Amino acid sequence: MPPHRPAAFPAARLRRLRRTNALRDLVAEHRLGAADLIWPVFIREGERIEEPVPSMPGVARLSLDMLVPAAEAAHSLGITTICLFPYTDQGLRTEHCEEAWNPENLTNRAIRRLKETLPGLSVMTDIALDPYNANGHDGIVREGEIVNDETVEALVRMAQAQAEAGADILGPSDMMDGRIGAIRQALEAGGHHNVAILSYAAKFASAFYGPFRDAVGAAGRLVGDKKTYQINPANRDEALRCVARDLDEGADMVMVKPGMPYLDLCRAVKDGFGVPTFAYQVSGEYAMLQAAAGNGWLDGEAAMLESLLCFRRAGCDGILTYFAPRAARLLAG
């Protein structure tokens, strides 16, 4: 049924319901809350370390002893999920990426520590090989080619190790073909029936990822680009096919990445599939807003909250954002 058409002016004055804060809140069509936010956190080895990421003002790599109180503070603000991204020691980055499934690697130790300390917090992980790869790619490289099937085998081992460590949500972000089905089958066979998969189903070969690669130490190692496995930004229909495939293979939730330049995809995924839909407000989006606010060109807090609300309006059930703790504090008043 088409939407109701309002009466003609002056019987209908649409500004009547915009007149006061109370009226605007009463008729707001979408709302933003702390529980809608997933906080991506960069972790590193060491003790008492809070190491700023220069290209992401306000973001730091945290040692595990600093991670726990930061997670406790975020949880107290109503943030229910954090996502871990490791800054791996350069000496552990190899052609075969064996550190990715080491039960004692940085991510798996962080999972266990968080689940022991904050059992009510959902811990999400990243499944891709770039933090462990000597070549900086999300997959294994053979003679200049990012090989699909061998990479999927490695990703399955990585997923199994993270599930054993206690992860609640696995986030395959690699964009290899067939990885969701292989991971789901391995989780079922291993008794990890309740581990959820939030697939980065529509991940584009974007220019907005640069600061993230700085944060995880992959930028200087990346050989070539990721255009043979991430989606061409021009391709909407291909992205929807990728979403359909991942859902068919066993994904519980799906992700659009980046976020703000791809709000049309967020809406199309939500309307087309009716599944839990997320977006990642990626490092480049964060850095742009922070830089503009730092130069006095934007009201930083207002722009931050507006950008997050727009994800909700576009159909997203939640947003991965580096702004999560700051936004949650503002939303709490």
Which residues form the catalytic set? 203, 257
How many C-beta atoms surround the C-beta of residue 145 within 10 A?
10
Instruction: Decide: 247 and 275 in contact? Cβ < 8 Å.
Output: yes
Instruction: Decide: 198 and 124 in contact? Cβ < 8 Å.
Output: yes
Instruction: State the sign of the Cα–Cα–Cα–Cα dihedral 323, 325, 328, 332.
Output: negative
User: 44: phi > 0 → left, psi -120 to 50 → alpha, else beta; which?
Assistant: beta
Q: Tell me how far apart the alpha carbons of residues 170 and 125 are, in angstroms, rounded to a whole number.
A: 5
Residue 312, SS3?
helix
Q: Which residues pair with 81 in a beta bridge?
A: 38, 122
Q: Using the structure block, give the residue that is written with the tokens 């073909």.
A: 177
Q: Using the structure block, give the residue that is written with the tokens 């690669």.
A: 213
Instruction: Decide: 170 and 192 in contact? Cβ < 8 Å.
Output: no
Q: Using the structure block, give the residue that is written with the tokens 């609640």.
A: 168
The CA distances from residue 19 to 12, 27, 329, in Å, are: 14, 12, 27
Short-list 284, 312, 224, CA closest to 36:
312
Tell me the residue type at 45: E
The CA distances from residue 308 to 64, 206, 208, 287, in Å, are: 28, 20, 17, 15
Q: Tell me how far apart the alpha carbons of residues 44 and 277 are, in angstroms, rounded to a whole number.
A: 29
What Rg, from alpha-carbon coordinates, does the chain have? 20
Q: Tell me how far apart the alpha carbons of residues 245 and 233 are, in angstroms, rounded to a whole number.
A: 19
